[in-house]
Amino acid sequence: MSNFSDDLLRAAARLHARRTGQKGPLKSACVRRSISTSYYAIFHFSLDEAALRLIGTSNELRQRRRLFVRTLSHTGLTITYGKLKGATIEKSVEDLFRLPATAAGPISTPAFVQQLATAYLDAKAKREDADYNLSEPLSATDARQLHRRVRRAIRDWKSAASAADRDTKHAVALLLSLKGKLRDQ
């Protein structure tokens, strides 16, 4: 299976790369497109993760995964990640993340989840500036920093592999499918 988010990260890197002999600043359009592409890399990574965890990984389920990801939205991801960006999981959804042996009270947000959540939210804000606010000055350094941050967040998410990490990833996928809201909200 081709990994679209990896393809997007490579495209973002090409957009903010300086070519041999190139002088002066990169063109604004390349910088802005790189920022936007880095955002879409983390967006599609999140969609794919949710689909793979909730639908399954076999090739026979590819069409079902494609249908499922069409139900997810930028707003739903923003709401979900907004609840996971802090040191503790937002109270309104903490029961989704509570394991049977976990005592009542706040639940710490695992570092790999917090990192993905904040990278997503920051990338979304930068993408909105890149795509819609031409008054906002953006540099090749901004594009490179965002690209590195998104790549690192995805890498760290992938490397979190303990049983507790897998359970947490499943809970994140469920929350993404619920667009960040439980029924009692």
**Is 0.75 surpassed by the pTM of this model?**
yes
Rounded Cα distance between 32 and 19, Å, is 17
* Mean pLDDT, all residues of the chain: 92
Please compute Rg for the chain using Cα positions. Answer: 18
pLDDT in tens, 53-86: 999 999 999 999 999 999 999 999 999 999 999 9
- Give residue limits of the domains in the chain: 4-177
Rounded Cα distance between 21 and 1, Å, is 37
Read off the pLDDT band of 183 (50, 70, 90).
Answer: low
Query: What is the predicted pLDDT for the residue at 51?
Result: 96
Residue 88: phi and psi, rounded to 5, are -125, 155
Direct distance between the N- and C-terminal alpha carbons of the chain, in angstroms, rounded to an integer: 37
Answer whether 79's CB lies under 8 Å from 181's CB: yes
Question: Of all residues in the chain, what percent carry a pLDDT higher than 90?
Answer: 82
Rounded Cα distance between 77 and 5, Å, is 16
pLDDT in tens, 73-128: 999 999 999 999 999 999 999 989 998 888 888 999 999 999 999 999 999 999 99
Answer whether 84's CB lies under 8 Å from 174's CB: no
Q: Which residues contact 168 (CB under 8 A, 6 or more apart)?
A: 97, 110, 113, 160
Read off the pLDDT band of 134 (50, 70, 90).
Answer: very high
